[in-house]
Amino acid sequence: MKQVVQTDNAPKPIGPYSQAIIAQGKFVFISGQIPLTPDGNLAGDDIQTQTRQAILNIKAILESLGASLKNVVKTTVLLKDLNHFSEMNKVYEEFFGDINPARAAFQVGRLPKDVLIEIEAIAVLE
Protein backbone atom coordinates (compact mmCIF):
# COMPACT_ATOMS: atom_id res chain seq x y z
CA MET A 1 0.00 0.00 0.00
CA LYS A 2 1.37 3.41 -0.93
CA GLN A 3 0.33 7.03 -0.67
CA VAL A 4 1.50 9.94 -2.83
CA VAL A 5 2.87 13.00 -1.00
CA GLN A 6 2.49 16.47 -2.52
CA THR A 7 3.14 19.84 -0.87
CA ASP A 8 3.20 23.35 -2.29
CA ASN A 9 6.12 24.14 0.06
CA ALA A 10 8.53 22.24 -2.21
CA PRO A 11 8.91 22.48 -5.99
CA LYS A 12 6.51 20.49 -8.13
CA PRO A 13 8.02 17.47 -9.88
CA ILE A 14 9.52 18.31 -13.26
CA GLY A 15 8.75 14.87 -14.64
CA PRO A 16 6.52 11.82 -14.16
CA TYR A 17 7.28 11.19 -10.48
CA SER A 18 5.95 12.14 -7.04
CA GLN A 19 7.67 14.38 -4.51
CA ALA A 20 7.51 11.43 -2.15
CA ILE A 21 5.72 8.15 -1.51
CA ILE A 22 4.68 6.71 1.84
CA ALA A 23 4.88 2.92 1.86
CA GLN A 24 3.42 0.61 4.47
CA GLY A 25 2.16 3.67 6.35
CA LYS A 26 5.55 4.65 7.75
CA PHE A 27 8.37 4.55 5.19
CA VAL A 28 8.79 7.81 3.25
CA PHE A 29 10.77 7.69 0.00
CA ILE A 30 11.56 11.26 -1.06
CA SER A 31 12.45 11.74 -4.70
CA GLY A 32 15.73 13.43 -5.54
CA GLN A 33 15.38 17.12 -4.72
CA ILE A 34 17.23 19.60 -6.85
CA PRO A 35 17.76 23.21 -5.69
CA LEU A 36 14.55 24.68 -7.04
CA THR A 37 12.51 26.98 -4.82
CA PRO A 38 8.83 26.11 -4.31
CA ASP A 39 7.97 28.50 -7.16
CA GLY A 40 10.29 26.58 -9.51
CA ASN A 41 13.25 28.97 -9.67
CA LEU A 42 16.87 27.91 -9.23
CA ALA A 43 18.02 28.87 -5.73
CA GLY A 44 21.51 30.02 -6.72
CA ASP A 45 24.57 29.04 -8.68
CA ASP A 46 26.96 27.95 -5.90
CA ILE A 47 27.09 24.58 -4.17
CA GLN A 48 26.30 25.94 -0.70
CA THR A 49 23.10 27.67 -1.77
CA GLN A 50 22.04 24.74 -3.92
CA THR A 51 22.71 22.22 -1.13
CA ARG A 52 20.74 24.31 1.34
CA GLN A 53 17.73 24.54 -0.99
CA ALA A 54 17.72 20.81 -1.79
CA ILE A 55 17.67 20.02 1.94
CA LEU A 56 15.00 22.66 2.60
CA ASN A 57 12.85 20.94 -0.01
CA ILE A 58 13.27 17.60 1.77
CA LYS A 59 12.45 19.32 5.07
CA ALA A 60 9.27 20.88 3.60
CA ILE A 61 8.06 17.53 2.29
CA LEU A 62 8.64 15.92 5.69
CA GLU A 63 6.97 18.80 7.54
CA SER A 64 3.88 18.38 5.34
CA LEU A 65 3.64 14.92 6.95
CA GLY A 66 4.18 16.18 10.49
CA ALA A 67 7.75 14.87 10.46
CA SER A 68 11.20 16.46 10.39
CA LEU A 69 14.75 15.83 9.22
CA LYS A 70 15.18 13.77 12.41
CA ASN A 71 13.04 11.11 10.71
CA VAL A 72 15.58 10.69 7.88
CA VAL A 73 17.43 7.39 8.00
CA LYS A 74 19.26 7.49 4.63
CA THR A 75 20.24 10.06 2.02
CA THR A 76 21.89 9.83 -1.35
CA VAL A 77 23.77 12.89 -2.59
CA LEU A 78 24.44 13.28 -6.30
CA LEU A 79 27.07 15.87 -7.16
CA LYS A 80 28.00 17.30 -10.54
CA ASP A 81 31.57 17.65 -9.26
CA LEU A 82 32.97 15.67 -6.33
CA ASN A 83 35.36 18.58 -5.71
CA HIS A 84 32.30 20.26 -4.13
CA PHE A 85 32.06 17.50 -1.50
CA SER A 86 33.67 19.47 1.33
CA GLU A 87 31.57 22.59 0.73
CA MET A 88 28.40 20.50 0.41
CA ASN A 89 29.27 18.63 3.59
CA LYS A 90 29.49 21.85 5.63
CA VAL A 91 25.93 22.82 4.68
CA TYR A 92 24.69 19.24 5.03
CA GLU A 93 26.10 19.13 8.56
CA GLU A 94 24.13 22.27 9.51
CA PHE A 95 20.94 20.26 8.95
CA PHE A 96 21.98 16.68 9.76
CA GLY A 97 25.02 17.12 12.04
CA ASP A 98 23.43 15.68 15.16
CA ILE A 99 21.20 13.22 13.29
CA ASN A 100 23.75 11.47 11.06
CA PRO A 101 21.58 9.36 8.75
CA ALA A 102 23.31 6.79 6.59
CA ARG A 103 24.55 8.42 3.37
CA ALA A 104 26.10 7.76 0.01
CA ALA A 105 27.56 10.45 -2.27
CA PHE A 106 28.39 10.14 -5.95
CA GLN A 107 29.67 12.30 -8.77
CA VAL A 108 27.39 12.02 -11.79
CA GLY A 109 27.75 13.14 -15.42
CA ARG A 110 24.78 15.49 -15.46
CA LEU A 111 21.80 16.46 -13.30
CA PRO A 112 18.36 17.84 -14.26
CA LYS A 113 18.44 21.53 -15.23
CA ASP A 114 22.25 21.33 -14.99
CA VAL A 115 22.20 21.90 -11.23
CA LEU A 116 25.19 21.10 -9.04
CA ILE A 117 23.42 18.75 -6.60
CA GLU A 118 20.45 16.45 -6.10
CA ILE A 119 19.58 14.78 -2.80
CA GLU A 120 17.11 11.96 -2.18
CA ALA A 121 16.07 10.71 1.23
CA ILE A 122 14.34 7.88 3.04
CA ALA A 123 12.58 8.62 6.32
CA VAL A 124 10.53 6.67 8.82
CA LEU A 125 7.39 8.18 10.33
CA GLU A 126 6.86 7.67 14.05
Residues 61-116 pLDDT 10s: 999 999 999 999 999 999 999 999 999 999 999 999 888 999 999 999 999 999 99
Q: Is the pTM of this model over 0.85?
A: yes
Show me where the domains of the chain are located. 2-124
User: For residues 40-74, b (16+ Cβ closer than 10 Å) or e, as one string?
Assistant: eeebeeebbbbbbbbbbbbbbbbebbebebebbee
Identity of residue 120: E
31-50: average pLDDT: 97
pLDDT in tens, 5-38: 999 999 999 899 999 999 999 999 999 999 999 9
CATH superfamily of 2-124: RutC-like (3.30.1330.40)
